[in-house]
Amino acid sequence: MSRSAIGARTAVYGVIGDPVGHSLSPLMHNAAFHAIGVDGVYVAFPVKDLAGAVAGMRALHLGGISVTLPHKVAIMDLLDEVEPTARRIGAVNTVVNADGRLVGFNSDSPGAMTALMEQTPIDGKQVAVLGAGGAARAVPTASSCMADVF
């Protein structure tokens, strides 16, 4: 889909955060939309007012958003539903607009585990997770083989 083809039927998606201008998500998602022929556009939205942004998502019927710092935890209270794994992690990084209901998910957990398992076997090993953000919260829940996380 070329930029000139964006119109009233174009689905709008985005990433919210503060800061968010450095995000490569728009470049990657827009390339994917183009490659598979989706009439969609993905935009970076710098957000300080999270409640206002969620209300805007509803009002504008955005298809979905990715959530990055500092909003991964706070957004949970503003959604209609939070998927159980995201609730257990305590952070949401993906919000889907399902016919007007905003549902939060967390893809950090499987993403981190996949990346880690490609590099090193961790079964039966103790693992230290450094950090306290949404992604760091997701790692220990990724697999039962990480039960000894400290």
How big is the chain, counted in residues?
A: 150
Cβ(1)–Cβ(38) below 8 Å: yes
Residue 100 main-chain phi, psi, to 5 deg:
95, -10
Residue 90 burial (CB < 10 Å; 0-12/13-18/19+)?
Answer: middle
Q: Report the alpha-carbon distance of residue 5 to residue 10 in Å, rounded.
A: 8
Would you please indicate which residues are annotated as catalytic (active-site) residues?
72
E strand or H helix at 101, and its extent? strand 101-105
According to DSSP H, which parts of 37-103 are helical? 50-60, 84-89
Walk across the sheet containing 81-82 and list its strands: 40-46, 11-17, 64-67, 94-98, 101-105, 81-82
